[in-house]
Homo-oligomer: A and B are copies of this chain.
């Protein structure tokens, strides 16, 4: 279940309230495209900004409209007791997997992170994805810590940070992680710009930002990798380089929100404040890019 493409939809807001209609449309789009799974409430789904009630509602909506596609749910929070409450609510809402990042305010120690995952693993009744996202959590996992956490029975997958652009280095990185974790634990890449490289290098899954809004090109790349058309897959990724440039300048979330807004999949300014959408000039770049993609 934790292989292939897991698509991360936005959770669009309208005037600080979850826009359920937009979220349902996004979910249906992913189902139509045939993604392998939907991760509601990833970083792209703004989980960290949402209340417990909003989170539970979003997962319920995803499950209701997923037509059997597995739904995973982000459950991260600053306090262990809050994480456990999100776990319970996500399971009640029908999530088939949990995504947990070691969200921090005070920087966390390795042991604190281990104990957090351990507490969740003991309490979870569905499998757990270890979410390593140092750009937002400011926590850096060592391979050793991957190994300790991956031995917890609940852990099914690890979502690792972007692999290097260079294929040899990417392979080396995937092999390092592979050597650190039990065989049944899948390795999923994040960081869309090098995700295809990661898949070619041997990753089992792509936890995909862009897959949540533009599932077709994302699916095409994954299919090409599966069919062994490495050159085609890498070429497709290369064709999206103007998008990756925008990601690196403004962050993937702001750019993806602008994409969704331009495609009328989300209302204007759909991010939770203080996060702002892109400016006019950048939105024009997004529009040009979409038009060039066809």
Binding site for B on A (CB under 8 A): 16, 43, 48-49, 78-81, 102-103, 105-109, 111-113, 115-116, 119, 135-136, 138, 251, 253, 272-276
**Integer count of this chain's copies in the complex:** 2
Tell me the interface secondary structure of chain A in the complex.
loop
A273/B16 in contact, CB under 8 A:
no
Q: Which residue of chain B lies nearest to A83 when distances are taken between CB atoms in the complex?
A: B274
B109/A276 in contact, CB under 8 A:
yes
Q: Which residue of chain B lies nearest to A51 when distances are taken between CB atoms in the complex?
A: B82
A48/B78 in contact, CB under 8 A:
yes
**Chain B min CB distance to A222 (Å):** 26
**Other contacts beyond A49-B105, A79-B272, A107-B251: 14, CB < 8 A:** A43-B106, A49-B79, A79-B273, A80-B273, A102-B274, A106-B251, A106-B275, A107-B136, A108-B275, A112-B275, A115-B273, A115-B276, A116-B274, A138-B138
B105/A274 in contact, CB under 8 A:
no
Contact pick for A136, options B105, B112, B119, B273, CB 8 Å: B105
12 interchain pairs (CB within 8 A)?
A: A16-B81, A48-B78, A49-B78, A80-B273, A80-B274, A81-B273, A103-B105, A107-B135, A107-B251, A111-B276, A112-B274, A115-B273
Kindly state the separation between the CA atoms of A253 and B253 in the bound complex, as whole angstroms: 32
Q: Which residue of chain B lies nearest to A112 when distances are taken between CB atoms in the complex?
A: B274
Residues of B within 8 A of A107 (CB): 135-136, 251
Kindly state the separation between the CA atoms of A276 and B108 in the bound complex, as whole angstroms: 9
A106/B136 in contact, CB under 8 A:
yes
**Chain B min CB distance to A17 (Å):** 10
Kindly state the separation between the CA atoms of A109 and B102 in the bound complex, as whole angstroms: 23
Q: Which residue of chain B lies nearest to A109 when distances are taken between CB atoms in the complex?
A: B276
Kindly state the separation between the CA atoms of A113 and B274 in the bound complex, as whole angstroms: 7
**Chain B min CB distance to A116 (Å):** 4
Kindly state the separation between the CA atoms of A232 and B108 in the bound complex, as whole angstroms: 36
Q: Which residue of chain B lies nearest to A138 when distances are taken between CB atoms in the complex?
A: B138
